[in-house]
Amino acid sequence: MDLSNQRFGRLIAVRSRSIFKPYYGRFGQWISFWLCRCDCGRAKLIRAGNLVSGNTISCGCFKSELDRDRGYCLPHYRGKKNPMFGRRGDKSPIFGKSREDMIGERNWVFGKPAWNRGKPGLSGDKHSLWNGGTSFLPYPSVFNGSLKKLIRQRDNGQCQNPECGGEFSYLTIHHIDYDKENCHPLNLVTLCNSCNSKANSNRQKWKQLYREIVRQCSTERFTRMNYLVMARGDKWN
């Protein structure tokens, strides 16, 4: 797509550039970037999809201004003053620990005061997106490669987000209601890695959107997928 001289927030697209992003060894993909000039005078390469979707509207100056106004700038936590400075590898408090080891009282920060105590913003169970720490829980056994493959086939191997810029070829399977235990096909949808990350904000919007998209799947395709899964003995809630 040609975005030349178009404005996106504080950015104006100047010229395009494709960059090869390798992953999984020798495999990779070409991703479209645009060199943009910000109103503050800086120039920066921005993914085309982030410009079109409105996810990026500045070179970073807008967020810096917001953080400064909200009191999020913490210069006393930078460099050697940061408690995690130099704690890499086996010096890190989470070195060699699994996700299960980080739940509740086993978490190394459990009971310690938060770095942003007294600052604007909420964390933990006070945050609007808090879900009881379920992100640390393992997926059920039914959520396996076979089920994921069938969901991708049902969705024609494409990201189902209509706002997707089409830059990412790596596809994931997203739980629409954010419940890992609910692996019913009507609760699963195929998303690219970028859209899957975006679904963690404004969850109510994405729930309604993806539920409607999944309902529009033809009955024939869903019935065939249901038969194939049950024939192998897999079960879902």
Average pLDDT for residues 141-152, to the nearest whole number? 89
Is pLDDT above 90 for 36? yes
Kindly state whether residue 123 falls inside one of the protein's structural domains.
no
Last residue in a domain, options 24, 53, 70: 70
Average pLDDT for residues 49-67, to the nearest whole number? 86
Average pLDDT for residues 15-37, to the nearest whole number? 77
Which positions ≥6 away from 101 have C-beta within 8 Å?
none
Is pLDDT above 50 for 196? yes
- The confidence band for 13, taking pLDDT boundaries of 50, 70 and 90, is very high
DSSP state of 47: E
Residues 38, 12: Cα–Cα separation, whole Å: 7
pTM of the model: 0.45
Average pLDDT for residues 161-184, to the nearest whole number? 83
Kindly state whether residue 120 falls inside one of the protein's structural domains.
no
**Given this model, what pLDDT does residue 117 score?**
58
Number of structural domains the chain divides into: 2
Average pLDDT for residues 61-78, to the nearest whole number? 70
- The confidence band for 234, taking pLDDT boundaries of 50, 70 and 90, is very low
- 11-22 sheet: strands from edge to edge: 7-8, 11-22, 28-38, 43-47
Kindly state whether residue 90 falls inside one of the protein's structural domains.
no
Which positions ≥6 away from 72 have C-beta within 8 Å?
66, 116, 119, 120, 121
Q: pLDDT tens, 88-121?
A: 888 887 787 776 777 777 776 777 766 555 555 5
Average pLDDT for residues 147-165, to the nearest whole number? 86
Residues 186, 212: Cα–Cα separation, whole Å: 10
Kindly state whether residue 197 falls inside one of the protein's structural domains.
yes
Kindly state whether residue 34 falls inside one of the protein's structural domains.
yes
Last residue in a domain, options 39, 70, 101: 70
φ, ψ for residue 168, nearest 5 deg:
-105, 130
**Given this model, what pLDDT does residue 231 score?**
45
**Given this model, what pLDDT does residue 210 score?**
92
Is the pLDDT higher at 23 or at 4?
Answer: 4
> C-alpha distances in angstroms, 155 versus 95, 152, 164, 167, 194?
38, 5, 14, 17, 17
Kindly state whether residue 16 falls inside one of the protein's structural domains.
yes
Last residue in a domain, options 70, 89, 118: 70
User: Residue 161 in 3-state DSSP?
Assistant: coil
Query: For the chain, what is the mean pLDDT?
Result: 78
Kindly state whether residue 95 falls inside one of the protein's structural domains.
no
Q: Hey, what amino acid is at 153? A: Q
Kindly state whether residue 102 falls inside one of the protein's structural domains.
no
For 66-75, 100-109, 182-191, which range has the lowest pLDDT when averaged over its residues?
66-75
Give me the domain span that covers residue 61.
Answer: 7-70
